[in-house]
């Protein structure tokens, strides 16, 4: 692949605007437990007969689930760099600038994952549980899981479902910031700042997942690759839905902490209401 000026320009822009986890995030603000995290979702439109306190706790729980989902996806992305990046680009003729952007992309995601995880750690301190205890009910992505296996299998066959999943995750991450921006005053300021910084960096490097997909679209030429090109998005979507269902089972165990903090008792009450909802609506709660 020939190098191109636009790649050099992207490298310059990303380097010039990259933020620092220590310097650019106001960790000293701490967490305002009276503020929402993802407010509009918890206003009684989805959970039936929601009280004001339940709406607040529900919005905070969804905010934590969202933070954990982003942190886990971006952590697994970095952990599987060999399988889904190095093993793929060696099949194709990519220039040095493309490789530089690739390295920067993974550095960004590692930093984002650490940032969201640090926020979750801080929140655990407010809820009288350890970070590990809080994570035991939040989404998790493991390197050795059926989901990772399915993505690896697709990749070994020449598919790019993994990069479609990354592309979709980045779209969702950016949509979350657009969703909370109009109601900024209702949101915990630290949570809002993290999403704002995340959004900015996602916008700057979002084209990388697209570049990986395009690389394969342009150059993937085996019979199997041609078939997978038409199926990869659907495969990525199906694996992601299975993952979401598995995460809901973790979240549903929240009652084990109901004596530790009123937050968990309220969540337990909400879960009982959610369990009355149809499965499709429950999956919708986690997807949003
Ligand atoms: Fe990210
Ligand atoms: Fe990203």
The whole-angstrom separation of Cα 213 and Cα 236 is 13
pTM more than 0.95: no
List C-alpha distances in Å: 3 to 72, 96, 99, 206, 208.
33, 7, 11, 19, 15
Q: Which stretch of 1-10, 153-162, 219-228 has the lowest confidence by average pLDDT?
A: 219-228
**Distance in Å, CA 260 to ligand 1 centroid:** 32
pLDDT band at 287 (very low <50, low <70, confident <90, very high): low
CA 175 / ligand 2 centre spacing (Å): 13
Burial 231-247 (b: 16+ CB within 10 A, else e): ebbebbeebbeebbeeb
Considering every ligand atom shown, identify the ligand nearest to the alpha carbon of residue 73 and give its number.
Answer: 1
Q: Tokens in use for 247?
A: 């995460």
Q: Quick one: which of 118, 69, 73 has its CA closest to 286?
A: 69
How close is the Cα of 68 to the center of ligand 1, in Å? Answer: 12
Task: Identify the pLDDT of residue 160.
Answer: 82
pLDDT exceeds cutoff 90 at 130 = yes
With beta carbons less than 8 A apart as the criterion, state whether 48 and 62 touch: no
C-alpha of residue 262 to centroid of ligand 1, in Å: 32
Q: How far is the CA of 108 from the centre of ligand 1 (A)?
A: 6
Q: Is the pLDDT of residue 43 over 50?
A: no
What pLDDT score does 234 carry? 85
The pLDDT value given to residue 40: 61
* Consecutive H or E run containing 256: none
């Amino acid at each position: 692949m020939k190098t191109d000026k636009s790649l050099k320009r992207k490298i310059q822009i990303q380097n010039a605007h990259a933020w620092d986890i220590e310097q650019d995030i106001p960790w000293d603000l701490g967490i305002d437990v009276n503020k929402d995290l993802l407010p509009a979702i918890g206003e009684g439109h989805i959970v039936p007969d929601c009280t004001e306190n339940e709406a607040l706790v529900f919005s905070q729980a969804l905010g934590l689930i969202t933070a954990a989902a982003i942190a886990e996806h971006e952590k697994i992305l970095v952990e599987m760099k060999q399988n889904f990046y190095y093993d793929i680009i060696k099949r194709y003729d990519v220039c040095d600038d493309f490789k530089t952007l690739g390295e920067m992309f993974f550095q960004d995601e590692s930093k984002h994952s650490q940032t969201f995880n640090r926020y979750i750690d801080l929140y655990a301190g407010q809820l009288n549980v350890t970070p590990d205890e809080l994570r035991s009910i939040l989404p998790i992505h493991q390197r050795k899981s059926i989901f990772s296996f399915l993505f690896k299998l697709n990749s070994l066959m020449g598919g790019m479902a993994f990069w479609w999943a990354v592309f979709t995750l980045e779209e969702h991450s950016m949509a979350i910031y657009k969703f909370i921006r109009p109601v900024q005053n209702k949101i915990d300021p630290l949570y809002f700042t993290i999403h704002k910084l995340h959004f900015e960096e996602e916008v700057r490097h979002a084209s990388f997942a697209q570049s990986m997909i395009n690389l394969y679209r342009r150059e993937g030429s085996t019979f199997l690759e041609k078939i997978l090109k038409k199926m990869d998005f659907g495969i990525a979507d199906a694996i992601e839905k299975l993952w979401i269902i598995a995460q809901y089972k973790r979240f549903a165990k929240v009652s084990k902490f109901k004596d530790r903090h009123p937050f968990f008792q309220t969540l337990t009450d909400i879960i009982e209401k959610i369990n009355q909802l149809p499965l499709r609506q429950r999956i919708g709660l986690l997807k949003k």
